[in-house]
Amino acid sequence: MLKTFPCLAVFSLFFINPTANADSSKWCIDPASVQVVWTAFKTTQKVGVNGNFTTLKVTAPGKGAKGLNQLLNSLMAEIKLEGPSSLSTGNPGRDQTLFDHFFKYMKGPVQIQGQVRNAEGNDEKGNLILQLSMNGKRKSVPMAWTRNSEGGLTATGSLDVLDFGLKTAFDDLHKTCEVLHTGSDGVSKTWSEVALQIQAKLIPGCGK
C-alpha cells in the first residue's frame, strides 16, 4: 500500500555559522553542504510528511559579499528530477507515486530552479524574494528570514503548485492518493501549497 505523498512545505534556509561573531562581509556558503528539504500535508488536519531532493546542484560563490544580503543574493539552485530516486521521503513507494503522478507532467526537462533576489535587512532579520522556475513558469515567492544567536538563518514562505500550471498533475496525484489522504472526518484532502527547506553552512573568513 502506497503512503500519501507530500503537498505542502515551508521553505527554510539554514546557514549554520560556527563563528557567530565573524565579520559578515567575509562569509560564504559551502555549496556541498546545501540540502533541500520539504514538509507536506495531507487530510484536513494537515498531517505533515517530510522529504528531500537528492539531485541538487548549488551555486553560491559569495566571494566579496558585503553582508548577508549580498551573500543570499548569490545563492542559486537547480534540482533535476530524473526518476523516483531523485526524491527521498523515507518510503520508496511514495517516491515512485510522487514522480509518476506529479512530476512526470512537467513540461520540458523535469527540473526546479531557484534563485534568491532582493534580499534586504540587517544581519539578524530581513526579507527576500525567491524566484522559482518550474514547469515552464517563473514565480516570485516572498520570504522572511531571521538569524539566531547561534548563526542559524531561516527563511520561510509558501507557494501553490496550481500557480505553476500543474492542475492536471495535482488532480492525478489527489486521485491516486485519495484514500490515503482521508482523515478521521472522512474527508480526503491534498494540499496544493508547497515550500522548500534549504540547509547549508555559512563559512566565516572566506569571503575576501
Q: Residue 28 maps to which CATH number? A: 2.40.128.110
Q: What is the pLDDT of residues 168-188, one digit of tens each?
A: 999 999 999 999 999 999 999
Q: Which three cell numbers stand for residue 148?
A: 539566531
| Residue 59 belongs to domain spanning | 12-203
Residue 64: which region, alpha, beta or left (left: phi > 0; alpha: psi -120 to 50)?
left
pLDDT band of residue 2 (cuts 50, 70, 90) is very low
pTM equals 0.78
Question: Residue 4 domain-assigned?
Answer: no
For residue 14, pLDDT over 50 is answered with: no
Give 182's DSSP letter.
Answer: B
The total number of structural domains that make up the chain:
1
Q: Which three cell numbers stand for residue 71?
A: 551573500
Quickly tell me which residue has 522556475 as its cell: 133
d(CA 146, CA 122): 9
Question: Residue 3 domain-assigned?
Answer: no
Q: Yes or no: say if 165 and 134 are a contact pair by the CB < 8 Å rule.
A: no
